[in-house]
Chains A and B, each alone.
Chain A
């Protein structure tokens, strides 16, 4: 055993050197794991003591081509008129359908980011929406992705910025009623602008419906010690009537 000591010591030293080398080869990435809420949202949340720079500017109008622009403007006008008459038009949300991408990233309910090996997972509390960002993998061809609510996302760290590319969003999953084609791509760039403030610059490109890319930024505030609550559409009394208007089921027997 005594004879083995130098060998053991050498092996131990080798292990230490090897593990240090492994650590040195893995660049440190920002720690974005935790709960986040969109800055400026104060209804139904505990005050978070917001920090950081002035919030990013509001989104510009979507740079839609004709006839998509006129259709979108007419739709917005119709929504306003219907609201003014007290007969709102039913949206996907009335059927308790999730917002999907990029709507879920508005994070008006808290949102959790989890970093694990090869994947970043984002969970939005409202509707328990989940998206997976596959890290350091090539993106697939749009035609190879079956369209869904959250799409297919790949990401990588470019220095301190998380860069994500998302394709494959169903055409009926519309953010702010803006139409899109199967060719839509959502690019995200997430980075810290203050110790607990994360900005997500979103750029949507779609050669079919947009003249130019549509870019806007969401700012998230870290919610320390907040654990996401469950959210199940257990009893949804809202429904769309045969005219497509939002109604509420009235049940006097309750």
Chain B
């Protein structure tokens, strides 16, 4: 384990031994061991993962970093004012340290939505927040295949990325612009970034700086620091949705990255994304509690005298970057297509992670999810199987105008999901059709 991660993790581990709920957890786990009951083991695991104020946590640090485990700490000064910290260390020697102090505020005035026929409607309970963040991560091995739409698998190289970052970000809902069709809010952020990229010791693949240099991978040799300023606008369906079948969310953000040394790597970024899902419902007129499983698979009955055929989700994402002549966007800050991106968001699922990279990116996705049947262990139902199919189309380019000039890369795929209490918690899928074979993946939550 790297020395940078050792001290904070050791401190958190020491604090964990004084966790308030440790005594109860020990008792539950001892009972589980004595009874050899797998449900009690599960309860023991739940108790361990919900230890308060210090307990374990797990997840991916970022795409390609490997599965990570660690500890988290929470101290609440009140419900609206609290501090959290966590440290994670992954199987491929990456780590993440993160601390956050969060202040939560009510909106300027309550977001009261209109009800039908002029009657009072619900109040959306979204609150404003200001977060003060400190993050340090060390991603031991990240993949790079060159820049632009014409890069190839043969150009595979690797780099190690270390970044220290501190800043503040916030969100404020805007009651005056919000309605039953969407909660509108503004976002802002100010961060200081100190990224470093290095070669990967012991790797059979060449390092990015050696293979590509500054010309093929900007900022792979130089090490600029950045002050980043951002602002944005977002809209999403209220927490109490007006529709049984439709749900949407969208966001547009503008960011400026100031290179704190020369202005060689300063640039602007405009990013927008939108997702809309529509659930196909059929009215049944009864509750169909005990129909055969194959009828469930065709149209899964629900509690409100409808059955669910499936859910279509359509999403789009565009990222454009702007830099003055003589300036360039650091390669590690350029958006990617292929597998999942740095933040774990699915992109072109028929390609490997990070396969395409450039300052500009366009991505369109369509998914169709269908609940199929319950699943269980030893007769105890735990979740619900689902099947899904997807289609992705996307492109990367060196200039924004080129995004639509060339034909887009496309793929298709199928996957399976597991839901617990009707919420999808795990997805496994295979994507193909993008001209580079097939790529299986299991989707887990990210630590960022």
A, B from the same assembly = no
| Residue ranges of A at the interface with B (Cβ–Cβ < 8 Å) | none
| Residue ranges of B at the interface with A (Cβ–Cβ < 8 Å) | none
